[in-house]
Amino acid sequence: MGMVQNEKIISFIRSLYNTDAFIPLHEPTFSDLEKEYVNEAIDSTFVSSVGGFVNRFEKEFADFVGAKYAVAVVNGTAALHTALLVSGVLPDDEVITQPLTFVATCNAISYCGATPVFVDVDEDTMGLSPIFLRTFLAQETIQKNGECVDKKTSKVIRACVPMHTFGNPTRIEAIAEVCQEFNISLVEDAAESLGSFRKNQHTGTFGALGVFSFNGNKIMTTGGGGMLVTDNQEIAQKAKHLTTTAKVPHKWNFDHNQIGYNYRMPNLNAALGCAQLVKLPEFLRSKRALASQYEEFFETVENCHFVTESSGSKSNYWLNTLKFNDAGERDSFLKSANDSGVMSRPCWTLMHELPMYAHYQRDDELLVSRNLSEKIVNIPSSPILERTTDTL
C-alpha cells in the first residue's frame, strides 16, 4: 500500500508542475523587472550598503506588513541577532523558543551570549504553544525586580522567540499576552511567514520586533537578505545604528560609539527586493491555489494528510507540509520522492537534539515536537504562476 500511495503522490506533483524533470522544493521566480532594477542599481554605482533602493525597500516592505519602520540587513539571522540585542538580551540571559525551528533561531540567541530554553509547540500550527508557554512560566519562574527569573538557573528570561513554522502563523496574539504578563520581550521569528496573517494582522507585528528572511528559497528573495520591523522609532534607530558598524554620522570622520555589526543590506540586493515585492501578491495567490489543489488531492490519500492553516490564520503556504501516520511511512515517501527527482524533505533536527543545544533547559519531554519531527514532510511548493487567475 505504501509504495502505491507514494507513486500516486509523486505522479500528482508531477502533473501539477507538468514536467518529468527534477522538481525543487522551492525555487525563486524572476522577470524582466528584477533585471531592470538591478541594472539601475549598477548604473547608479551605488551597489553596496548605501543607495536609493535600500531606503525604498525598507519603506515599501514596512507598508506591506503594516509596520512603521523597517531595517534591511544581510540575512534573517542577522535580523534576529539585531532584534534580540536591541530588545536588551544580555550575556547569561535566557530566551524561550521552540525546539521545532531552523537552527538560525538558536544561533542568533547564542550570538548574544544568551541560552535558549525550549517550550513545546501546538500540533496544528507547529509553532510555539501559548498554553505550554504559560504553564512553563507559571511553574518554573518567579518575578523579581520586574524581571522573569528561571527558578532552576537563577537566570533572567529576557525574551521569547516564537517561529511561524513553514509560514503557518502560531497563536501569536495569545503568546503576546503571556509575554506581557510575565515581563518578557516578544521577538517574532517571521522568517518564513511573509504574507501570513493571524486575526487579520500580519505576522511579525505582534511584538516589539519581528524579523523576516529573503533567502533564495523564501516566498520572495533578495538573494541573501533579511528585514527587521517595528513600530518603535527608537528601536528602529538603534537597529540601523547597530547594523551599520555603530558609525556616528559624519561627512568624513569614522567614529564609532559601540561595538557594531556590518549587517546592512547592499543596494543590489534591495533592488532585487523591490522588484520581488511588486510580484509578491501574485506569488501569494499562486501558492494558495497550489495549496488548495494539494488539500483536495490528499483527501484521497490514506496514509497522510495535508497540513492546512489553523482557525483564525491565513498562511502563505511557503512550504506545503504533509503529516504521515508514522515515521516508517514518512521515510518511505522521502526515499521514493527524492529517488524520483521530486525534492521532499523532513523538518529540521529538533534543536535540543543538536549537540550544542542538548544540555539547555527544556519543558518536559517536548512530545508534540517529537511527534511532528518524526512524521512531517515538506513537498514542492514553488509558485505556478501560469495557473494563477483573477478568481483565486
pLDDT in tens, 132-175: 999 999 999 999 999 999 999 999 999 999 999 999 999 999 99
Task: Kindly state the helix (H) or strand (E) to which residue 218 belongs, with its residue range.
Answer: none
pLDDT at site 365:
87
The segment with the largest mean pLDDT, out of 246-255, 293-302, 380-389, is 293-302
What cell does 272 get?
Answer: 532585487
Whether residue 121 has pLDDT greater than 70: yes
Reading the block at residue 339, the C-alpha cell is: 529517488
- Classified as helix, coil or strand, 208 is coil
pLDDT digits (tens, 9 = 90+) for 184-197: 999 999 999 999 99
What one-character-per-residue DSSP string does 47-115 give?
Answer: -SS-SHHHHHHHHHHHHHHT-SEEEEESSHHHHHHHHHHHTT--TT-EEEE-SSS-HHHHHHHHHTT-E
Tell me how far apart the alpha carbons of residues 388 and 392 are, in angstroms, rounded to a whole number: 7
Collapsed DSSP state (helix, strand, coil) of residue 149: strand
Burial 195-224 (b: 16+ CB within 10 A, else e): bbbbeeebbbbbbbbbbbbbbebbbbbbbb
342 CA to centre of own chain: 24
- The CATH number of 32-276 is 3.40.640.10
Asked whether residue 230 carries a pLDDT value surpassing 60, the answer given is yes
Q: What mean pLDDT do residues 108-120 have?
A: 98
Q: How confident is the model at residue 47, as a pLDDT? A: 87
Could you tell me which residues come within 8 angstroms of residue 225 by beta carbon, excluding any fewer than 6 positions away? Answer: 72, 73, 74, 75, 213, 214, 215, 265, 269, 270, 273
pTM over 0.85: yes
Burial track 66-104 (b if 16+ CB lie within 10 A, e otherwise):
ebebbbbbbbbbbbbbbbbbbbebeeebbbbbbbbbbeb
Nearest to 83 by CA among 269, 261, 255, 276: 261
Distance of alpha carbon 84 from the chain centroid: 15
- DSSP-assigned letters across all residues of 176-190: HHHHHHTT-EEEEE-
Q: Has residue 390 got a pLDDT over 80? A: no
In this predicted structure, what is the pLDDT of residue 386?
63
Query: Which sequence spans correspond to the domains of the chain?
Result: 2-29+279-387, 32-276
Q: Dihedral sign, CA of 29, 32, 38, 42?
A: positive
Residue 264 has which C-alpha cell? 546592512
| pLDDT over 90 (residue 359) | yes
Domain 2-29+279-387: give its CATH superfamily.
Aspartate Aminotransferase, domain 1 (3.90.1150.10)
Q: Phi and psi at residue 129, in whole multiples of 5°? A: -85, 125
- 48-75 pLDDT per residue, tens: 878 899 999 999 999 999 999 999 999 9
pLDDT of residue 49: 78
- pLDDT tens digits along 232-257: 999 999 999 999 999 998 888 999 99
Strand 209-213 versus strand 345-346 pairing type: unpaired
Percent of the chain with pLDDT over 70: 98
Helix (H, G, I), strand (E, B) or coil at 323: strand
Higher-scoring residue by pLDDT: 390, 386: 386
Residue 51: predicted pLDDT? 86
State the chain's mean pLDDT as an integer: 95
Q: What is the pLDDT of residues 198-224, one digit of tens each?
A: 999 999 999 999 999 999 999 999 999
Q: For 303-333, how does the pLDDT look when each residue is reduced to its tens digit (9 = 90+)?
A: 999 999 999 999 999 999 999 999 999 999 9
Q: What is the mean pLDDT of residues 294-306?
A: 95
Question: Would you state the pLDDT for residue 48?
Answer: 84
Query: How many CA within 13 A on the CB side of residue 336?
Result: 18
Q: List the end-to-end C-alpha distance of the chain, in Å, as a whole number.
A: 35
Examine the pLDDT at 391 and tell me if it is beyond 80: no
Q: Is the pLDDT of residue 17 over 80?
A: yes
Q: Which residues of 106-145 are buried (b: 16+ CB within 10 A; e: fewer)?
A: bbbbbbbebbbbbbbbbebbbbbbbebbbbbbeebbeeee
pLDDT by residue (tens digit) across 21-54? Answer: 999 999 999 999 999 999 999 999 988 878 899 9
Q: Is the pLDDT of residue 392 over 50?
A: no
Q: Is the pLDDT of residue 389 over 80?
A: no
